[in-house]
Copies of this chain bind each other. A is one copy, B any other.
Amino acid sequence: MSTIKQIAELAGVSPTTVANVIHGKTEKVSEALRKKIVKILKEEKYAPNQGALMLKRSRSHIVGIILFMEPRSGSSSIEDPFVSRIIGTLETEIREAGYFMMLRCTSDKDEVLHFAATWKLAGLVILCMPSEISSAVAKSVASPVVFVDCYFEEPGSKYYSVKLDDEKGGFEMTRYLLDKGHRDIAFLANAADFPSVDSARYDGYRNAFKAAGLAIPRDKLFILSKNEKERLRLYLWFAKHPGFCTALFFSADYYAAEAIDCLAQLGLKIPDQLSIAGFDDNLLSRLQNPKITTVHQDVVQKGRLAAKMLFTLVKKEIPPQQELVLPIRIVARESVSNRIVSS
């Protein structure tokens, strides 16, 4: 409500003096005056006009968070517990650093650029963007950017990013399933054709077969539809073709939970008749019954490191690493069992 000018008037001094007090330039203001002004500032609940600050500094105190939204689907991924968890963590970090957080769901590169430009963003965190878009954004945005769980088209180009050892996650889980005797293992993901979290996990899946001296499956990759009904139809298909696979490896707990739910309704016994593995280790995998055997990742850590990296860049410093790759570990729960070898 009140401006520096008004505060100055109340205190009977010039705006500059008030500004000096606000910015802690104690050597420029007498102690008595300083106290008086501080008191008025509090009474008036002075809050700087961020618009004026933006104008003055050509930079805002806003960190933008971009959440990928499937084009035309209209619904964002924020309901996935993994996503909401990382957003919660980022909010905390951003707030504690004295910044503000703007959240925006989009799948349009130009919208991201416009967003960053119009708000003169201090920084940008981009979550789970497909490579085509993230590469393009990285090149043309003026603010520092940290990518989380993004992959890029050009293998050489390195952007500041925090991700997971997705390949290893895919590898270890597949090895775990192989160790349990499974040989016909389906891999189910959103997309695996271009560089992405899912394609890396799928690479791991194939490498595990190779490392075990087994032929790499050619007909076991399934792309999950964005449409829930179509996904349910796919799960149903597995139920009807019990010989095709003995284990399903989902690239996200969200879908693993959905599948368990659907298949259990059909009377299928999990894991006895079909083993199911997930990826992420969130709320769902712990609460689902049977509890989901999954690949664990530390989401809070991921969010914290991304924020730390971003604020290093905001300070115009160079982060020690361009790319942080967080470890994974297998969490064996109940949804995977030994393959019953019928002989």
Show the binding face of A for B, using Cβ within 8 Å: 1, 45, 47-55, 60, 62, 74-76, 78-79, 81, 83-85, 87-88, 91-92, 95, 100-106, 110, 113-115, 117-120, 142, 257-258, 260-261, 264, 283-284, 286-289
Q: Which residues of B contact A289 (CB under 8 A)?
A: 261, 264, 288-289
Which of B47, B101, B113, B286 is close to A117, meaning CB atoms less than 8 Å apart?
B47
CB-based contact A88/B78 at 8 Å: yes
CA distance A62 to B53 in the complex (A): 16
CA distance A113 to B100 in the complex (A): 14
Q: Which residues of B contact A52 (CB under 8 A)?
A: 51, 54-55
CB-based contact A105/B76 at 8 Å: no
Q: Which residue of B lies closest to A62 (CB)?
A: B102
CA distance A45 to B74 in the complex (A): 25
Nearest-Cβ distance from residue A209 to partner chain B, whole angstroms = 31
20 contacts between A and B (CB under 8 A): A1-B142, A45-B110, A45-B113, A45-B114, A47-B113, A50-B54, A50-B118, A51-B60, A51-B120, A54-B54, A74-B92, A75-B92, A78-B84, A78-B85, A78-B88, A79-B283, A91-B105, A100-B104, A287-B288, A288-B289
Q: Which residues of B contact A283 (CB under 8 A)?
A: 79, 284
Q: Which residue of B lies closest to A85 (CB)?
A: B79
Q: Which residues of B contact A106 (CB under 8 A)?
A: 95
CB-based contact B103/A91 at 8 Å: yes
CB-based contact A1/B102 at 8 Å: no
CB-based contact B92/A76 at 8 Å: yes
CA distance A100 to B62 in the complex (A): 12
Q: Which residues of B contact A120 (CB under 8 A)?
A: 49-51
Which of B88, B110, B114 is close to A76, meaning CB atoms less than 8 Å apart?
B88
Contact A114 to B47, CB < 8 A, known contacts A79-B84, A100-B104, A104-B100: yes
Q: What 5 pairs between A and B have smallest CB-CB spacing?
A: A51-B54, A289-B289, A84-B84, A47-B117, A47-B118
